[in-house]
Amino acid sequence: MFKFNFEVNDSDSSDNTESPFKKPKVEQKTNSDSENDEKILWYEAEQIKPTKAILKSLDLYELNARELTFENVELRHLIAGFLLEDIKRHSDVDSQDIKKSEESHSDLIAGVYEGGAKIWECTDDLLKYLLQNYEKKHWENKVVLDLGCGSGLLGIYALKCGAKVDFQDYNKDVLEKITIPNVLLNLNETLTDDEKIDQLQKKSNFYAGDWSHFAKLTENFEKYDIILTSETIYNVKNQQKLLDTFRKQLKSDGIVLLAAKSHYFGVGGGLEQFVEFLKCGKDFRSTYLWQADENLKRGIIELKLQ
């Protein structure tokens, strides 16, 4: 059952031990997975520019926000029920990908909707790790990318600590309906509307589309000190694209902090498998930073260019 599940607690985690994803559905009539994959037309990359129009909905977002408190840091995000109702009410073209996944009761439709509308467990893990291991001042003046951002909580945390943060999600409608509203919800409330848009535009960029296209679109832009990424390695067929993106986007002394589950049923990827895959190439060395050995095995690794 598809859930716009914004809770990040243990009961959600155990729900997902069975399978966080339905088998990817691709609307092509072919005989094998590999034929299906070849036929997926991965979305081109584009930059999404927040405009003043989004501020009209800010009061509504405020009324439908929930607060997560991590020690002394508060992060606000849209609540699940609001989002679903809003998308049903406005069946505009822009929210079609999220709508399709809701209608097909699936957390993932390969190449159409890649899971960004809910908050996944490893985001919670990585947030806690960042809080416990990095002082706030570590983020000042850093250039950060929240890759496969979904709700964008990792990037929003870095933004609140003083970093400049770009957000990337496969789906434009996730960025427009979820990520950008969430970033807005976390801006200083005393700012004027113009100042809010100004901050959004000066401190962040938002990119939609497939990783391979994203890397091309941004190849001449400033590289990142830190790439934060949670639950993005589930599909083994996309892992090379993901690694290429890390390699192209990271400063030579930059780091990737990657959080993931040990196994994603139905799609084949998983943390240990990914670490083995990394060893096949020469670009990165990886270190385990944290592991949870609960029902749902998860971990965090650091990647550095070598």
Ligand X SMILES: C[S@@+](CC[C@H](N)C(=O)[O-])C[C@H]1O[C@@H](n2cnc3c(N)ncnc32)[C@H](O)[C@@H]1O
226 binds ligand X (CB under 6 A): no
Show the site string, 164-193: x = touches ligand X by CB under 6 A, - = not: -----xxx----------------------
What is the Cα–Cα distance from 238 to 268, expressed in whole angstroms?
11
Q: x/- contact string, 246-285, with ligand X (CB under 6 A)?
A: ----------------------------------------
**Phi, psi for 27 (deg, rounded to 5):** -85, 55
Q: How far is the CB of 4 from ligand X (least distance, A)?
A: 12
Among all residues, whose Cβ is closest to ligand X? 148
Q: Does 97 bind ligand X (CB under 6 A)?
A: no
Instruction: Using CB under 6 A, pick the residue from 123, 182, 186, 204 that binds ligand X.
Output: 123
Question: Which structure tokens are listed for 192?
Answer: 């004027």
Q: Which is nearer to ligand X, 197 or 271 (CB)?
A: 271
Binding mask 130-169 for ligand X (x = CB under 6 A): ------------------xxxx-----------------x
CA 128, chain centre distance (Å): 16
Window of 108-116, 130-138, 182-190, 215-223 that interacts with ligand X by CB under 6 A: 108-116
Give the number of other Cβ atoms within 10 Å of residue 26's Cβ: 17
Instruction: Report whether 88 contacts 100 (CB < 8 A).
Output: no
Nearer to ligand X, 80 or 122 (CB): 122
251 and 223 in contact (C-beta within 8 Å)?
yes
DSSP per-residue letters across 107-156: S-BTTTB-STTS--HHHHHHHHHHHHHS-GGGGTT-EEEEET-TT-HHHH
* Residue from the set 114, 125, 176, 225 that interacts with ligand X by CB under 6 A: 114
* Cβ-contact 42, 210 below 8 angstroms: yes
Helix axes 153-160, 121-133, angle to 10 degrees: 20
Q: Compute φ and ψ for 298, nearest 5 degrees.
A: -145, 165
**Least distance in angstroms from the C-beta of 264 to ligand X:** 9
d(CA 258, CA 256): 6
- Site for ligand X contains 16 (CB under 6 A): no
Residues that bind ligand X (CB under 6 A): 114-116, 119-120, 122-123, 148-151, 169-171, 210-211, 230-232, 238, 241
